Amino acid sequence: MSRRQLDGLDRDIVQWLSRDARISNRQIAAELGVTEGTVRARIKRMEEQRQIRITAVTNIDRFRDASLAYIWIEVERTHQVRAVARELAAIPELGFVGEMLGRSDLLAITMVRNNEHLAEFVHSRIGTIEGVRRTESTLGVNFVKHDYRMARIVK
Amino acid sequence: MSTAAAVEAHPQLDEVDHRIIALLREDGRMPFRAIARELGVTETTVRARVRRLEDSNTMRVVAVTDIEAAGYNMLLAVGVQVENRTPESVARDMAEIPEVFSVNVVVGTHDIEALVVAEDQGALHTLLSERLAGLPGVRRLTPSLAVDVLKNQADWVPL
């Protein structure tokens, strides 16, 4: 991993943006005692280098009362992990796909309506991917915390 | 999810709302004036719509920080088995820890599934063996290290 880390001023700017990303550059500049140009340049650089992403977070595409499901996936042969991971990443319903060490080869996270929906999704969309040996799914019953201000920015 | 299903789930949103959300997903800093021009409505309308979407908890415009840029080099999924306490209460304690950025009570082999970050191996060890293992009710932790994250959408969680 090699992404450039944020410095003190970057973090101060991000702190303001984390509260409300619609705040103006002028207002951030005034709060931090720097010029508006500095704020603008910093935000541009952080976005270009994918250190931050300013975006609308919404639940309009989600089912109401949906549950989070963790799907652990084991592949037939270790060399197939990458290919299976790529196929998983292309499934729009999956919000997280990671190659893992330890409990299984891959972890995929999605939102489902219920256990039946989860079983159907795993069976039809994941079990059919070439190289998938077995899956183990866990259905969430109570979503206690998710800090959406923190993520691995992939694209 | 199809647009039809999205509309059904949120009947109070119209076409303008959906298009504002789509533009802000692309660029959360897009000026109200530019949004208004793009959609052929007034800037006042856009402002009012954005405020309504935010006030109704339908949408929020936020800065998402890359975990690595924030100084965290490790991301793990941690399964937790709980004893002598409800999983909900243990989960709430875990949620107090900033490095624990996602906590979900589940049914299965584990009682809780969490996503955690750490700066380095030393910090990870402290987080797992002291801060998490030391919480009352935590029986066993089963961590799994993410060696590569191919996808991590910021907007896949309920608000």
Q: Is residue A15 part of a domain?
A: yes
Whether residue B66 lies inside any domain: the answer is no
Query: Is the domain of A41 the same as that of A74?
Result: no
Q: What is the C-alpha separation between B61 and A140, in angstroms, rounded?
A: 26
B157 interfaces chain A, CB cutoff of 8 Å = yes
A27 & A90 share domain: no
pLDDT at B4 over 70: no
pLDDT at residue B2 above 60?
A: no
Pairing of the two strands A132-146 and B100-107? antiparallel
Task: Report the number of distinct structural domains present in chain B.
Answer: 2
B158 φ, ψ to 5°? Answer: -70, 145
Determine the pLDDT at residue A150: 77
Domain that holds residue B26: 3-55
Is B146 at the interface with chain A, CB within 8 A? yes
* B3-32 mean pLDDT: 79
Residue-wise pLDDT for B45-58, tens only, equals 999 999 999 888 88
Among A residues 95-114, those touching chain B with beta carbons less than 8 Å apart: 95-104, 107, 109-111
Amino acid, single-letter form, for residue A150 = M
Same domain, A17 and A74: no
Question: Is B151 part of a structural domain of the chain?
Answer: no
Segment B110-136 shows an average pLDDT of 96
Q: Is the pLDDT of residue A148 over 60?
A: yes
The pairing of strands A106-112 and B74-82 is unpaired
- Across residues B10-27, what is the average pLDDT? 87
Q: What predicted TM-score, i.e. pTM, was given to this entire model?
A: 0.84
Q: Residues of B with CB below 8 A from A20's CB?
A: 61
In the predicted structure, residue B7 carries a pLDDT above the cut 60: no
If pLDDT is split at 50, 70 and 90, which confidence band does A28 have? very high
Residue B157 lies in a domain: no
How does pLDDT run across A72-112, given as a tens digit for each residue?
Answer: 999 999 999 999 999 999 998 898 999 999 999 999 999 88
**Amino acid identity of A144?**
V
Residue B61 falls within a domain, yes or no?
Answer: no
- Residue B89, classed as helix, strand or coil, is helix
Q: Are residues B78 and B128 in the same domain?
A: yes
| Domain CATH number, residue B87 | 3.30.70.920
Do A93 and A135 fall within a single domain?
yes
Residue A38 falls inside a structural domain? yes
Judge if B48 and B109 occupy the same domain. no
Q: Is residue B88 part of a domain?
A: yes
Q: A135 and A99, same structural domain?
A: yes
- Pair (B21, B81) in one structural domain: no
Instruction: Provide the token pair at B95.
Output: 């949620």
A30 within some domain: yes
Question: Which range of residues forms the domain containing residue A18?
Answer: 8-48
Are A95 and B153 a contacting pair at CB < 8 A? yes
pLDDT digits (tens, 9 = 90+) for B64-119: 899 999 999 999 999 999 999 999 999 999 999 999 989 999 988 899 999 999 99
In a domain, A145, yes or no: no
